[in-house]
Homo-oligomer: A and B are copies of this chain.
Amino acid sequence: MAREPAALAATDGRVPGRRGRATRQRLLDATADLLEGTPWRSIKVIDIARRAGTSPATFYQYFENVEQAILVLAEELTEGAGELAALVEGNWSPEAAWDTAQAVVQQFMDYWEANRAVFRVVELATEEGDLRFRGLRVRALNAVTEALAEVVSGTPSARSVTSSRTRIRHESPAGTDPMAVAATLVSMLAHVAAHRYGFEFWGIRTHSLVESQARLLLWAVTGTTPPS
Protein backbone atom coordinates (compact mmCIF):
# COMPACT_ATOMS: atom_id res chain seq x y z
CA MET A 1 0.00 0.00 0.00
CA ALA A 2 2.03 2.92 -1.28
CA ARG A 3 0.05 5.73 0.24
CA GLU A 4 2.76 8.32 0.20
CA PRO A 5 3.22 8.44 -3.60
CA ALA A 6 -0.54 8.39 -4.06
CA ALA A 7 -0.87 11.33 -1.68
CA LEU A 8 1.86 13.18 -3.49
CA ALA A 9 0.53 12.55 -6.96
CA ALA A 10 -0.97 15.58 -8.63
CA THR A 11 -4.61 15.42 -9.60
CA ASP A 12 -3.78 14.47 -13.15
CA GLY A 13 -1.87 11.42 -11.92
CA ARG A 14 1.63 12.58 -12.68
CA VAL A 15 4.24 12.59 -9.93
CA PRO A 16 5.61 16.10 -9.38
CA GLY A 17 9.29 16.88 -9.53
CA ARG A 18 11.32 19.10 -7.26
CA ARG A 19 9.72 22.37 -8.22
CA GLY A 20 6.25 20.87 -8.06
CA ARG A 21 6.81 19.47 -4.61
CA ALA A 22 8.04 22.84 -3.39
CA THR A 23 4.89 24.49 -4.70
CA ARG A 24 2.76 21.81 -3.11
CA GLN A 25 4.48 22.38 0.20
CA ARG A 26 3.98 26.13 -0.04
CA LEU A 27 0.30 25.50 -0.59
CA LEU A 28 0.18 23.21 2.43
CA ASP A 29 1.96 25.76 4.58
CA ALA A 30 -0.42 28.46 3.47
CA THR A 31 -3.34 26.21 4.30
CA ALA A 32 -1.97 25.50 7.77
CA ASP A 33 -1.45 29.21 8.37
CA LEU A 34 -4.98 30.08 7.38
CA LEU A 35 -6.34 27.24 9.47
CA GLU A 36 -5.01 28.87 12.62
CA GLY A 37 -7.26 31.84 12.33
CA THR A 38 -10.18 30.98 10.10
CA PRO A 39 -13.22 28.74 10.34
CA TRP A 40 -12.16 26.12 7.88
CA ARG A 41 -15.32 26.17 5.82
CA SER A 42 -14.63 29.74 4.90
CA ILE A 43 -11.09 29.13 3.74
CA LYS A 44 -11.21 29.83 0.01
CA VAL A 45 -8.94 28.30 -2.55
CA ILE A 46 -8.17 31.77 -3.72
CA ASP A 47 -6.92 32.72 -0.24
CA ILE A 48 -4.55 29.79 -0.10
CA ALA A 49 -3.28 30.47 -3.58
CA ARG A 50 -2.69 34.14 -2.91
CA ARG A 51 -0.83 33.42 0.31
CA ALA A 52 1.30 30.84 -1.43
CA GLY A 53 2.07 33.33 -4.18
CA THR A 54 0.44 31.31 -6.90
CA SER A 55 -2.89 30.95 -8.66
CA PRO A 56 -6.02 28.96 -7.83
CA ALA A 57 -5.52 26.80 -10.88
CA THR A 58 -2.22 25.63 -9.47
CA PHE A 59 -3.89 24.61 -6.25
CA TYR A 60 -6.19 22.34 -8.17
CA GLN A 61 -3.21 20.70 -9.73
CA TYR A 62 -2.22 19.28 -6.37
CA PHE A 63 -5.43 18.96 -4.39
CA GLU A 64 -9.02 18.23 -5.28
CA ASN A 65 -10.27 20.84 -2.85
CA VAL A 66 -9.48 22.57 0.42
CA GLU A 67 -10.75 19.63 2.39
CA GLN A 68 -8.27 17.26 0.84
CA ALA A 69 -5.40 19.61 1.51
CA ILE A 70 -6.34 19.74 5.17
CA LEU A 71 -6.63 15.98 5.21
CA VAL A 72 -2.99 15.80 4.19
CA LEU A 73 -2.07 18.08 7.07
CA ALA A 74 -4.10 15.92 9.41
CA GLU A 75 -2.23 12.79 8.45
CA GLU A 76 0.53 13.97 10.72
CA LEU A 77 -1.74 13.61 13.72
CA THR A 78 -1.46 9.86 13.69
CA GLU A 79 2.22 10.15 14.52
CA GLY A 80 1.83 11.66 17.98
CA ALA A 81 -0.82 9.12 18.90
CA GLY A 82 1.56 6.19 19.11
CA GLU A 83 3.65 7.97 21.71
CA LEU A 84 0.54 8.61 23.75
CA ALA A 85 -0.54 4.99 23.54
CA ALA A 86 2.86 3.92 24.84
CA LEU A 87 2.43 6.19 27.82
CA VAL A 88 -0.98 4.71 28.53
CA GLU A 89 0.51 1.25 28.59
CA GLY A 90 2.97 2.41 31.21
CA ASN A 91 3.22 1.60 34.88
CA TRP A 92 -0.09 1.23 36.69
CA SER A 93 1.33 -0.34 39.82
CA PRO A 94 -0.16 1.09 43.03
CA GLU A 95 2.83 3.36 43.63
CA ALA A 96 3.03 4.71 40.11
CA ALA A 97 -0.60 4.75 38.97
CA TRP A 98 -1.43 8.27 40.09
CA ASP A 99 1.60 9.71 38.35
CA THR A 100 0.81 7.73 35.24
CA ALA A 101 -2.80 8.92 35.20
CA GLN A 102 -1.74 12.53 35.52
CA ALA A 103 0.91 12.16 32.86
CA VAL A 104 -1.56 10.60 30.43
CA VAL A 105 -4.06 13.41 30.88
CA GLN A 106 -1.38 16.06 30.63
CA GLN A 107 0.16 14.60 27.53
CA PHE A 108 -3.21 14.17 25.90
CA MET A 109 -3.93 17.83 26.42
CA ASP A 110 -0.49 18.82 25.15
CA TYR A 111 -0.94 16.62 22.11
CA TRP A 112 -4.27 18.25 21.40
CA GLU A 113 -2.89 21.70 22.02
CA ALA A 114 0.01 21.20 19.65
CA ASN A 115 -2.42 20.31 16.88
CA ARG A 116 -5.40 22.37 17.93
CA ALA A 117 -6.25 23.86 14.56
CA VAL A 118 -6.06 20.58 12.73
CA PHE A 119 -7.88 18.65 15.43
CA ARG A 120 -10.68 21.14 15.28
CA VAL A 121 -11.20 20.44 11.61
CA VAL A 122 -11.02 16.71 12.19
CA GLU A 123 -13.72 16.97 14.82
CA LEU A 124 -15.92 19.17 12.70
CA ALA A 125 -15.59 17.12 9.56
CA THR A 126 -16.12 13.88 11.43
CA GLU A 127 -19.26 15.18 13.02
CA GLU A 128 -20.49 16.29 9.64
CA GLY A 129 -20.18 12.75 8.44
CA ASP A 130 -17.01 12.94 6.36
CA LEU A 131 -15.72 9.39 6.19
CA ARG A 132 -12.14 10.24 5.32
CA PHE A 133 -11.79 12.43 8.39
CA ARG A 134 -13.61 9.92 10.49
CA GLY A 135 -11.19 7.24 9.42
CA LEU A 136 -8.29 9.49 10.27
CA ARG A 137 -9.78 10.33 13.63
CA VAL A 138 -10.21 6.65 14.40
CA ARG A 139 -6.62 5.99 13.42
CA ALA A 140 -5.38 8.83 15.62
CA LEU A 141 -7.42 8.01 18.71
CA ASN A 142 -7.77 4.29 18.28
CA ALA A 143 -4.27 3.51 19.42
CA VAL A 144 -4.98 5.35 22.65
CA THR A 145 -8.40 3.81 23.09
CA GLU A 146 -7.18 0.27 22.59
CA ALA A 147 -4.23 0.76 24.90
CA LEU A 148 -6.59 2.10 27.50
CA ALA A 149 -9.00 -0.78 26.99
CA GLU A 150 -6.24 -3.23 27.56
CA VAL A 151 -5.07 -1.51 30.72
CA VAL A 152 -8.64 -1.28 31.97
CA SER A 153 -9.38 -4.93 31.32
CA GLY A 154 -6.37 -6.25 33.22
CA THR A 155 -6.19 -6.48 36.96
CA PRO A 156 -4.14 -3.40 37.74
CA SER A 157 -1.50 -4.99 39.92
CA ALA A 158 -1.23 -8.10 37.80
CA ARG A 159 -1.08 -6.12 34.59
CA SER A 160 1.91 -4.12 35.55
CA VAL A 161 3.89 -7.31 36.04
CA THR A 162 2.57 -10.03 33.76
CA SER A 163 1.95 -9.95 30.05
CA SER A 164 -1.47 -8.73 29.20
CA ARG A 165 -1.73 -11.29 26.43
CA THR A 166 -3.78 -13.46 28.76
CA ARG A 167 -7.09 -11.86 27.92
CA ILE A 168 -9.00 -12.89 30.99
CA ARG A 169 -11.95 -10.60 31.52
CA HIS A 170 -11.55 -8.98 34.88
CA GLU A 171 -14.31 -6.84 36.22
CA SER A 172 -13.08 -3.28 35.95
CA PRO A 173 -14.33 -0.58 38.30
CA ALA A 174 -15.91 1.48 35.56
CA GLY A 175 -17.83 -1.18 33.71
CA THR A 176 -17.82 -4.52 32.01
CA ASP A 177 -16.89 -3.74 28.43
CA PRO A 178 -13.33 -2.41 28.44
CA MET A 179 -13.70 -0.80 25.03
CA ALA A 180 -16.78 1.07 26.19
CA VAL A 181 -14.94 2.29 29.25
CA ALA A 182 -11.93 3.29 27.19
CA ALA A 183 -14.11 5.05 24.63
CA THR A 184 -15.86 6.92 27.41
CA LEU A 185 -12.56 8.03 28.88
CA VAL A 186 -11.12 9.08 25.55
CA SER A 187 -14.31 11.01 24.88
CA MET A 188 -13.81 12.84 28.12
CA LEU A 189 -10.19 13.61 27.29
CA ALA A 190 -10.95 14.75 23.77
CA HIS A 191 -13.88 16.93 24.66
CA VAL A 192 -12.24 18.61 27.61
CA ALA A 193 -9.11 19.24 25.55
CA ALA A 194 -11.18 20.71 22.76
CA HIS A 195 -13.13 23.00 25.05
CA ARG A 196 -10.29 23.88 27.35
CA TYR A 197 -10.32 27.57 26.55
CA GLY A 198 -14.07 27.68 26.87
CA PHE A 199 -13.77 26.30 30.39
CA GLU A 200 -10.99 28.66 31.26
CA PHE A 201 -13.10 31.54 30.15
CA TRP A 202 -15.79 30.08 32.34
CA GLY A 203 -13.51 30.26 35.38
CA ILE A 204 -12.41 26.66 35.49
CA ARG A 205 -8.65 26.32 35.68
CA THR A 206 -6.91 23.87 33.40
CA HIS A 207 -5.08 22.48 36.38
CA SER A 208 -8.37 21.50 37.99
CA LEU A 209 -9.50 19.85 34.79
CA VAL A 210 -6.34 17.80 34.64
CA GLU A 211 -6.84 16.73 38.21
CA SER A 212 -10.44 15.68 37.90
CA GLN A 213 -9.79 13.83 34.65
CA ALA A 214 -6.79 12.07 36.15
CA ARG A 215 -8.84 11.01 39.15
CA LEU A 216 -11.56 9.55 36.98
CA LEU A 217 -8.98 7.84 34.82
CA LEU A 218 -7.16 6.44 37.83
CA TRP A 219 -10.33 5.14 39.30
CA ALA A 220 -11.51 3.57 36.04
CA VAL A 221 -8.23 1.72 35.68
CA THR A 222 -7.31 0.78 39.24
CA GLY A 223 -10.42 1.40 41.32
CA THR A 224 -8.40 3.56 43.69
CA THR A 225 -8.16 7.21 44.65
CA PRO A 226 -4.90 9.16 44.60
CA PRO A 227 -2.65 9.00 47.68
CA SER A 228 -2.72 11.67 50.41
Contact = CB atoms under 8 A, between A and B. Distances in A.
A203 B183 CA distance: 11
A41 B134 CA distance: 18
* Copy total for this chain: 2
A188 B198 contact: no
A72 B59 CA distance: 38
Interface in A168-216: 173-177, 179-181, 183-185, 187-188, 190-192, 194-195, 198-199, 202-205, 208-209, 211-213, 215-216
A197 B203 CA distance: 32
Nearest to A195: B187
Given A129-B39, A204-B179, A184 B198 contact: no
Nearest to A145: B202
B192 A183 contact: yes
A126 interface: yes
A139 interface: no
Contacts of A199: 180, 183
Contact of A225 (B129, B173, B190): B173
Contacts of A208: 175-177, 179-180
A124 interface: yes
A184 B181 CA distance: 15
Contacts of A75: none
